[in-house]
């Protein structure tokens, strides 16, 4: 069994992992940037170490620093959470070299299936239908050749990572050069890898993903699907399970396809196989996210399984304790991603100090968040500040419970997407399950902020945050917090 786990992430996912570790009797190590010095998750770990400055490339993306702290703290395992280094094969390989368990897939599996170009090639070799595209990294010339041959619109996608980062829809030749630069730069900043590939854009599909668990002994199971079609600019806003588009036969065929792909790649740990579903209910392989998903609580709510616990058991070398026939799904679950954004001003980012928080409670309501009073929402990281998850015996019951929970949820000091989530839940098309990936754009009149104005706002936010923080002190060698410091954080 694992003894001490370093969580190489921040915010709600770091706290989520720390909680399961506590329940399993495993000690935890948190790492934090200067911007996260007073974050709640830092005080909840048994030990905490300064990782570096606020910018992720100088902190949460520094493999050398993270491994140095893991060695210093005596951690025998690292959980990467999601984002940052979670799907980085070099990080997984570096952990193995240092004889530290990586709570995720081995490097070989990440290269085979976590990289989206390689995953497409593997799917094609197995006869799994894929969206027409180029299964290799593209530059401007090769992307233009593909777009002209298959006609616009096309979709540029980051080969590494996920979550909509490094993704751009291109509708004509004029847009392509700029889209390539922006997508590559965004992917490099988010994942440390700016390589891209290209696909034909499938108009009005549904986005359905299958949750997987696979051990090191050749066993794999799927835990059903999550519907992720409610999204904007390729960013998911709301996820649910089961999908209103799937019947039992289609669900099983998609699940077995995901298991087939995972076994062929020698995949281990938790992962998600994503598909596009067209209007004729034909599914196409999209990608594999070789990590824990943001929306994993949806699956936990309908199966009763703790996915982080299973991740840790698999990393420790244990066999899966469940077979496919043991998986039971019950009821309906919905997750709303609450972000620090103003949905009525083009989803412009909102930063500042949180002066009040009241999260909802009641039957079958769960909140995953690191937010507390005096938390600072900064411009340095993703705008996700909380995940609200509910369960109901059926979809109408879950929808009503989510609406009630959203109305109870109060976050003061920053703008949030809560009002927009309430609008979605009240929308007739959502209630009837008639959704697709362009549903939000079609159904809601959202005034978007021009790209140059978003850039100006981001630069101003960074400048204000830097001014507030004052001049940085020279970076010191990583030191753990004392018991007095930890107690002070919990009392603040």
Q: Take residue 228 and report the two structure tokens written for it.
A: 């992720």
Q: Which of 354, 350, 356 is nearest to 375 (CA)?
A: 354
Phi, psi (5° rounding) for residue 329? -115, 135
Phi, psi (5° rounding) for residue 426? -90, -5
Say how far apart CA 166 and CA 182 lie, in whole Å: 7
**Under 8 Å CB-to-CB from 440, ≥6 apart: which residues?**
230, 231, 232, 237, 424, 446
Please work out, in degrees rounded to the nearest 5, the angle formed at the alpha carbon of residue 305 by the alpha carbons of 309 and 162: 75
Q: Take residue 429 and report the two structure tokens written for it.
A: 């098309």
Say how far apart CA 179 and CA 10 lie, in whole Å: 30
The catalytic residues are 291
């Amino acid at each position: 069994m694992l003894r001490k786990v370093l969580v190489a992430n921040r915010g709600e996912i770091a706290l989520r992992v720390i909680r399961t570790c506590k329940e399993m009797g495993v000690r935890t190590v948190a790492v934090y940037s200067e911007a996260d010095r007073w974050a709640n998750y830092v005080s909840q770990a048994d030990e905490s170490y300064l990782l570096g400055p606020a910018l992720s490339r100088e902190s949460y993306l520094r493999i050398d620093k993270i491994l140095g702290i893991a060695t210093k703290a005596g951690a025998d395992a690292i959980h990467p959470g999601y984002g940052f280094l979670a799907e980085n094969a070099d990080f997984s390989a570096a952990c193995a070299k240092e004889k530290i368990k990586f709570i995720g897939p081995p490097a070989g599996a990440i290269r085979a299936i976590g990289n989206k170009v390689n995953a497409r090639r593997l799917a094609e070799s197995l006869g799994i239908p894929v969206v027409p595209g180029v299964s290799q990294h593209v530059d401007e010339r090769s992307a233009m050749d593909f777009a002209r041959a298959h006609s616009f619109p096309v979709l540029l996608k980051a080969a590494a990572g996920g979550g909509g980062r490094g993704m751009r829809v291109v509708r004509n030749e004029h847009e392509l050069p700029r889209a390539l630069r922006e997508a590559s730069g965004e992917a490099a900043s988010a994942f440390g890898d700016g390589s891209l590939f290209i696909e034909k854009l499938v108009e009005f599909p549904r986005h359905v993903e299958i949750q997987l668990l696979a051990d090191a002994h050749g066993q794999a199971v799927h835990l059903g699907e999550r519907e992720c079609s409610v999204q904007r600019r390729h960013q998911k806003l709301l996820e649910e399970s089961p999908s209103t588009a799937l019947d039992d036969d289609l669900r099983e065929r998609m699940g077995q396809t995901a298991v087939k792909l995972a076994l062929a790649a020698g995949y281990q740990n938790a992962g998600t196989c994503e598909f596009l579903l067209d209007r004729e209910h034909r599914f196409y392989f999209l990608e594999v996210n070789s990590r824990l998903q943001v929306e994993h609580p949806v699956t936990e709510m309908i199966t009763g399984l703790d996915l982080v616990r299973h991740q840790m058991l698999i990393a420790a070398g244990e066999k899966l304790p469940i077979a496919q026939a043991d998986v039971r799904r019950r009821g309906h679950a919905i997750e709303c991603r609450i972000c620090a954004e103003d949905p009525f001003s083009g989803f412009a980012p909102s930063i500042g100090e949180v002066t009040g928080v009241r999260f909802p409670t009641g039957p079958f309501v769960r909140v995953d968040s690191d937010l507390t009073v005096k938390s600072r929402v900064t411009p340095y990281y993703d705008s996700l500040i909380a995940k609200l998850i509910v369960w109901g015996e059926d979809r109408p019951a879950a929808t009503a419970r989510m609406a009630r929970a959203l109305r109870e949820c109060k976050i003061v000091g920053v703008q949030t997407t809560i009002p927009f989530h309430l609008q979605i839940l009240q929308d007739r098309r959502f209630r009837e399950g008639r959704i697709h990936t362009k549903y939000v754009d079609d159904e809601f009149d959202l005034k978007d902020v021009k790209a140059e104005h978003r850039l100006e706002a981001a630069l101003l936010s960074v400048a204000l945050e830097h001014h507030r923080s004052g001049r940085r002190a020279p970076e010191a060698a990583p030191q753990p917090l004392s018991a007095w410091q930890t107690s002070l954080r919990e009392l603040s």
